Structure formats: structure tokens, C-alpha cells
Amino acid sequence: MNVFVTRPIPQAGIDLLKKKKNVTVRVQAKPINLTKKELMKRVKGVDAILSLLTNTIDGDVMDAAGPQLKVIANYAVGFDNIDVEAAKKRGIIVTNTPSPEISESVAEHTFALIMALTRRIVEADKFTRAGQYHGWDPKLFLGRDLTGLTLGLVGLGRIGKLVAAHARCFGMNVVYFDRKRDAEFEKSTNARYLSMQKLFRQSDVVSLHVPLLPSTRHLINAKTLRLMKKDAFLVNTARGPVVDERAVLKALYEKKLGGFALDVFECEPAIDCDTSDQYELAKLPNVIMTPHTASATVRTRDAMALLAAQSILSALAGKKPPHAVA
């Protein structure tokens, strides 16, 4: 059985695959994204593909691999980079890596961004490093206390619930919107369920925790931004295209939004979709950007590698992996 790994991942996953005597593993050595043409060439004849979210796996790639391809294990929770319907038609299993570790890491990163935004940590760090600090000033980098602020969660999956737990420790009020109400969550956290429109109007911080679907693309747009408080903060650790970045940029430049923190970008890996206009994220002091590293802890990335490898081994053994999405 042949397995192709599209980019280097933590060794724990590779070692698990290599332990099986009948499994041969090839890893794309360089940490670069293969072009579609290169990817189609590399997957020829393989039984399994361990892909990253930066790889687009469509029907052409599946056909290039051949009819023996049994499983595509995506090293990510999201799987919008894979044509799931094309995989179903070809009888190919698709899996992802939704582990407790990744939920915890992303929730912690999300809350770190919330704290950094509200307390202007990045701005103050740059100011100090530039040698501009000349003594205490009662009005220097005034931020917001989290206690008493309202956190609005758009999406209440595992990550959203963990972010809510962190927020409660800091005395924040929690409101949420999801397709379904969660009475148990409301009872245990005193959180309130609101319509999306009311959530945007009442929240001091809006944190996004939804998958990328046709219904969530540009969920945050000019219309929804107009509902938000002018000093509210927006945080996106979900998927880049959930946010219409140009609309957010315009709101920030017009001082109709307090700040924006993001770990994912609409036109990733590009920081801005359109660099020909006047709106640039990197120029704004009240924008904090991290390079898609919300789950970047040693423990979490190892767990993801092991889960992807286990999914492949299960599928090659004729079993249905626990995290099959197709």
C-alpha cells in the first residue's frame, strides 16, 4: 500500500504509518504547496493521500491517482479544499482531524487574540520596541476591561464552547447564535441565545466559529458590520472567506469598528485580496494578524498527525475511520 503525504507533518504520524510492514510512505520533502500538475503527478498509483488544507483535491487529482485510491486524510478540521462529492462518486473515503487538542488550542488562541485586541498589546509592544516610551502616562494605550463586556459567539461547536468557558473566567457575558439552541450550555454558563442580528447589536466582541459553507461565505459583510457597535471587536479563527475583508477594512478605516483580529485570510495566503486600493490590513494599528497558527502547539499538531495516520490505516484495512466525512 502506498501513501503520499503532500507536505512534511510531525514525525509522529509518519512513524505510525511506517510501522506497518505493507505500507510505503512518500513525503513531499519541501514545505511548499504543489501545483495541481505536480500533485497529479505525485499521487499516481497511491492508495492513500494525506493532504493539507492548502491542497485542492478535486476529481482530476483523484483520477490521476487511479481507481485504487481508497482514502484522502485531510490534516485539518475543515475539508473545504476537498471535493467531497467527487470522492463519494469514486468510493473514496475522506477524513479530517477534529481532536480535543485542536479545539483547546484554537480556543486558547482565540481568547489570546481577544485579550490582545482589548488591551492593545501589539500596539504597545511596537511602541515600546521603537523607543517611544518615555515614562508613565495616564492616557497611554487605554484599553477595555473584559469584565462586564459581552462576547458574541457565532457558532457553538466545541471551540465556541471552550472560548465561552475562558470568557466566563474573565467576567464576560456570553451570548451566542447557532442553528440549534443548546439549553444545557445556557444553563451551565448563563449564556443567552440571540438571533444573529441581535447578537451583532449587543456584543462588544464577536468571535466566529462556523465552517465555510455557501451559507457562511461573507457572513460578515457591510450589512452585518453596520449592526455592530462602533467600538466592537471582531475575531476570526474560523475560515477566511467567512469575512468580507474589504467590508471590514472599510469599516476600520472609517472608524466604525474597534478592531479586528484574524488567524485566517479571505484570499489566503495573501494578506489582502486587493492590494491596489487604499485599504491594507497591515497598515492598521488595531488589526492583529497571525499566520493560520491557532492550532500550532506541539501537542495539537502531533495529535492531528496521529489521527490522520490512523484514519489512513483504518481505511487501508477495510474499516471505516472514526472521522470520515465522506
Residue 187, judged by CB atoms within 10 A of its CB (0-12, 13-18, 19+), counts as exposed
Cα-based distances in Å from 178 to 184, 187, 192: 14, 16, 11
CA 139 to chain centroid: 35
Q: Is residue 183 part of a domain?
A: yes
Looking at the structure, tell me whether residues 68 and 153 fall in a common domain. Answer: no
Tell which residue, 233, 238, 114, 229, has the closest CA to residue 170.
114
| Same domain? 205 vs 312 | no
Could you tell me if residue 77 is inside a domain?
Answer: yes
Per the residue annotation, which of 209, 292, 301, 323 is the catalytic one? 292
69 shares its domain with 191: no
C-alpha cell of residue 154: 457565532
70, 154, 230 from 218: Cα distances, Å: 34, 13, 20
> In this structure, is residue 204 part of a structural domain?
yes
Sign of CA dihedral 82, 85, 87, 93: positive
Return left, alpha or beta for 204; rule: phi > 0 is left, psi -120 to 50 is alpha, else beta: alpha
**Residue 325 resides in a domain:** no
- The answer on 105 and 91 residing in a single domain is no
On whether residue 41 sits in a domain, the answer given is yes
Q: Are residues 269 and 175 in the same domain?
A: yes
Instruction: From the candidates 104, 186, 268, 280, give the one annotated as an active-site residue.
Output: 268
Pairing of strands 205-208, 150-154: parallel
Query: Could you tell me if 200 and 227 are in contact, meaning their C-beta atoms sit under 8 angstroms apart?
Result: yes
Pairing of β 48-52 and β 2-5:
parallel
CB 299 within 8 A of CB 307: no
Q: Is 292 a catalytic residue?
A: yes
Note whether 186 and 134 are same-domain residues: yes
Cell 451551565 belongs to 188
The pTM of this model reads 0.90
Catalytic residue among 120, 239, 301, 323: 239
Please answer whether residues 71 and 312 qualify as being in contact, where contact means their C-beta atoms are separated by less than 8 angstroms.
Answer: yes
Same domain for 309 and 261: no
Residues 38 and 84 in one domain: yes
The one-digit pLDDT tens for each residue of the chain (326 residues) are 999 999 999 999 999 999 998 999 999 988 888 999 999 999 999 999 999 999 999 999 999 999 999 999 999 988 989 999 999 999 999 999 998 999 999 999 999 999 999 999 999 999 999 999 999 999 999 999 999 999 999 999 999 999 999 999 999 999 999 999 999 999 999 999 999 999 999 999 999 999 999 999 999 999 999 999 999 999 999 999 999 999 999 999 999 999 999 999 999 989 999 878 878 999 999 999 999 999 999 999 999 999 999 999 999 999 999 899 98
Quote the number of domains for the chain: 2
The verdict on 149 and 246 lying in the same domain is: yes
**Are 49 and 139 members of one domain?**
no
Residue 79 and residue 105 in one domain: no
* 120 and 266, same domain (yes or no): yes
Which CATH number goes with the domain that contains 57?
A: 3.40.50.720
Question: By residue range, what is the domain housing residue 65?
Answer: 2-98+298-316
